[in-house]
């Protein structure tokens, strides 16, 4: 629960390669981002 009281950072990934977008998504989620594809 490290994000209590903080707005969650958001990222939008625009990538047509499924594997690359999935990898980027997972990295960003691990860093605390909310990710939209």
- For the chain, what are the domain ranges? 1-37
Does residue 1 register a pLDDT over 90?
Answer: no
Q: For the chain, give the mean pLDDT.
A: 89
pLDDT band at 6 (very low <50, low <70, confident <90, very high): confident
Could you tell me if 24 and 15 are in contact, meaning their C-beta atoms sit under 8 angstroms apart?
Answer: yes
What is the share, in percent, of the chain residues with pLDDT greater than 70? 86
pLDDT band at 4 (very low <50, low <70, confident <90, very high): low
Could you tell me if 32 and 10 are in contact, meaning their C-beta atoms sit under 8 angstroms apart?
Answer: no
The token duo for 22 is 């999935």
Does residue 3 register a pLDDT over 80?
Answer: no
């Amino acid at each position: 629960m490290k994000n209590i009281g903080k707005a969650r950072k958001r990222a939008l990934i625009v990538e047509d390669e499924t594997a690359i977008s999935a990898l980027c998504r997972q990295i960003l989620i691990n860093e605390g981002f909310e990710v939209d594809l």
